[in-house]
Structure 1
Amino acid sequence: MHLRLLLTTFLAAAAGAAHAQQVAKPEDTEVWEPIPKVVTPGKTSVDAPSDALVLFDGKNLDQWVSTENRDAPAAWTVANGILTVNKAVGNIETKRSFGNYQLHLEWRVPANITGTGQARGNSGVFLASLGKGDLGYELQILDAYQNKTYVNGMAGSIYKQIIPLANPARKPGEWQTYDVVWTAPTFTAGGAMATPARVTVFFNGVLVQNNVTLSGPTVYIGKPSYQQAHGPTPIKLQAHGDKSEPLSFRNIWVRELP
């Protein structure tokens, strides 16, 4: 008798589940809100979309200041729609600070570049600047076309941390492209790291960093770690102190993300 009751209960439950599946409708799983905002894309994949802030359009450095003295204008050279590093005046960074963002920029190593290894078109994009000098989280810029160096210091690397997945570098004298998605680190009220920074990088359209987790800001010697809590920060371009010919940039824009 007990077995018959158990079987009856099981069959009733199965019938109920089948009935529930039958009465479910496609509309039950449709989501209608919130409606994503409309963004007009650029004419090409490298042109700024409608919601982007253009950081350099080939005309001026109105969106930039000196890293060493944020009250001073950025004093790199602008000519013929191109921004060229001025090593004598040091790094420059954006006037505005950013949390999470999408960044596009194009850079070029001079065709007549000399030197080898790290002394061959060295620069960097600090995805979050933490002050004067080279403090922050650096995405390396360097001639990587048939130029041997340590692989966590080549173009497309998160400098001294993460090796790129590939080397899609073009020859010196040709324009290179970085497209970056930056997720800023977060910190507790007490200043401890809550969530680490993450970054995705496409180098000339090739994925070289796939949502990787950073161990902390860039350090030249030793292991990185999170020791300084911070909020939104500027984006910084590096004027590296090597003796090679200076790099150039063009078409820089950023989209803030949630």
Structure 2
Amino acid sequence: MVQRVTFAIFLTITSGLVLVAAYGNQGSNSSVDKVLGRWDITVQAADGTRYPSWLEVTRDSDKLAGRFVGRVGSQRPVKSIEFKDGQLIFSLPVQYERQNSDLKFEARLVGDRLEGTTLAPDGKTLRWTAVRAPALAGSSRPKWGQPIQLFNGRDLSGWKLRNPNGPNGWSVVDGVLVNTPRSTDLITEQEFKDFKLHIEFSIAEKSNSGIYLRGRYEIQVEDGAGREPDSRGIGGVYGFIAPTSNPAKKANEWQTFDITLIGRRLTVALNGKTIIDNVEIDGITGGALDSNEGAPGPIMLQGDHGKISFRSIVITPAL
């Protein structure tokens, strides 16, 4: 009996030591839970402007793991991450950033909000904040309103430049909206929450562009006929969701997207074939207008990558 009790005590102590070892570098299990999930980030740039980013923190066995989306580019895995004594520290390799070493972020958990710093390419300290990304549960059976013609075929009424002082390569030629790069992105003056979008486009040879839903989620547009489906290829949610097939036509031919976005659930048809079917979008993509995922947003056409034309852009909002 004494031997059994002694052995039980030994197992209890040993198990406790294993748990302490597993989470010793991460803080207690309950404290780690406070940072798990998706975070919408806003960074205060050195020039006084703000730009969005995104972070997801997960638990991989006994360690933390993560994914990150920066100002531009696609989502990438976090290289190292830890949370201890209320402080979150993580780093990741550069992608398109003009820096020679890993990007490093530090933040403290203040209530249900992260407040921290990172370094700009010139070494200046940038401040950033993060709030929890909303679930965005949409209606399973939305009621649809009346279709709205976003492009009238005559001029740019209802549209504005993302950067009013930037280059404007957008024009209307014979009823077609044409972009001659490099140009500032073009965004609708109206904002939308849940909707169906029909858009007809023609992409030039070796060119690429993008259609941003709510100004935050990029559907990639490129000269991609015959390529294997990829999250960074035509019809993909850039860096997040790969299409199931690629029915793209050749460059300079007219093509169609029919897109339905309800909450985070996305369906995309390219040239009449469904290539993404009711899939959840995890977070914002690089180049997004902001990280305020809970708010309505505009349709944005990417203008700084390549030549593209549009001849019909019709949106049907949910009521």
TM superposition score category, shorter chain reference: 0.5 to 0.7
Aligned CA distance change for structure 1 residues 232 and 145 (closer, same or farther; 3 Å): same
Please name the residue that 1:104 is paired with: 198
Please name the residue that 1:151 is paired with: 230
Q: Give the secondary-structure state (helix, strand or coil) at the position aligned to 1:124.
A: strand
In the alignment, the residues of structure 2 paired with residue 218 and residue 199 of structure 1 have an alpha-carbon distance, to the nearest angstrom, of: 14
- Segments of 5+ residues of structure 2 without an aligned counterpart are 1-141
Aligned length: 177
2:244 is matched with which residue: 148, 165, 175?
Answer: 165
Please name the residue that 2:21 is paired with: none
In the alignment, the residues of structure 2 paired with residue 240 and residue 165 of structure 1 have an alpha-carbon distance, to the nearest angstrom, of: 27
Once the 2 structures are TM-superposed, how far is the Cα of residue 144 of structure 1 from its aligned partner?
1.4
Q: Give the secondary-structure state (helix, strand or coil) at the position aligned to 1:180.
A: strand
Please name the residue that 1:247 is paired with: 308
Q: Give the secondary-structure state (helix, strand or coil) at the position aligned to 2:304.
A: coil
Please tell me whether the aligned partners of residues 128 and 235 of structure 1 are also in contact (alpha carbons under 8 angstroms): yes
1:212 is matched with which residue: 279, 290, 293?
Answer: 279
Please tell me whether the aligned partners of residues 160 and 189 of structure 2 are also in contact (alpha carbons under 8 angstroms): yes
- Equivalent AA in structure 2 for residue 61 of structure 1: L
In the alignment, the residues of structure 2 paired with residue 68 and residue 124 of structure 1 have an alpha-carbon distance, to the nearest angstrom, of: 17
In the alignment, the residues of structure 1 paired with residue 286 and residue 177 of structure 2 have an alpha-carbon distance, to the nearest angstrom, of: 27
Q: CA RMSD in A?
A: 2.9
Map 1:191-202; keep pairs closer than 5 Å.
197-202=264-269
Q: Percent identity?
A: 31
Please tell me whether the aligned partners of residues 227 and 246 of structure 2 are also in contact (alpha carbons under 8 angstroms): no
Q: Give the secondary-structure state (helix, strand or coil) at the position aligned to 2:214.
A: strand
Structure richer in strand, relative to its length: 2
In the alignment, the residues of structure 1 paired with residue 294 and residue 160 of structure 2 have an alpha-carbon distance, to the nearest angstrom, of: 20
- Equivalent AA in structure 2 for residue 233 of structure 1: G
Once the 2 structures are TM-superposed, how far is the Cα of residue 228 of structure 1 from its aligned partner?
3.8
2:295 is matched with which residue: 211, 231, 238?
Answer: 231
Once the 2 structures are TM-superposed, how far is the Cα of residue 86 of structure 1 from its aligned partner?
3.3
User: How high is the TM-score relative to the length of structure 2?
Assistant: 0.51
Once the 2 structures are TM-superposed, how far is the Cα of residue 75 of structure 1 from its aligned partner?
5.6
Q: Give the secondary-structure state (helix, strand or coil) at the position aligned to 1:164.
A: coil
Aligned CA distance change for structure 1 residues 81 and 227 (closer, same or farther; 3 Å): closer
Please name the residue that 1:19 is paired with: none
Please tell me whether the aligned partners of residues 122 and 240 of structure 1 are also in contact (alpha carbons under 8 angstroms): no
User: How high is the TM-score relative to the length of structure 1?
Assistant: 0.62
Larger relative contact order (C-alpha < 8 A, sep ≥ 6)? 1
Please name the residue that 2:154 is paired with: 59
Once the 2 structures are TM-superposed, how far is the Cα of residue 256 of structure 1 from its aligned partner?
0.6
Please tell me whether the aligned partners of residues 66 and 75 of structure 1 are also in contact (alpha carbons under 8 angstroms): no
Residues 1:178 and 2:261 are matched in the alignment? no
- Segments of 5+ residues of structure 1 without an aligned counterpart are 1-35, 40-49, 114-119, 130-135, 185-196
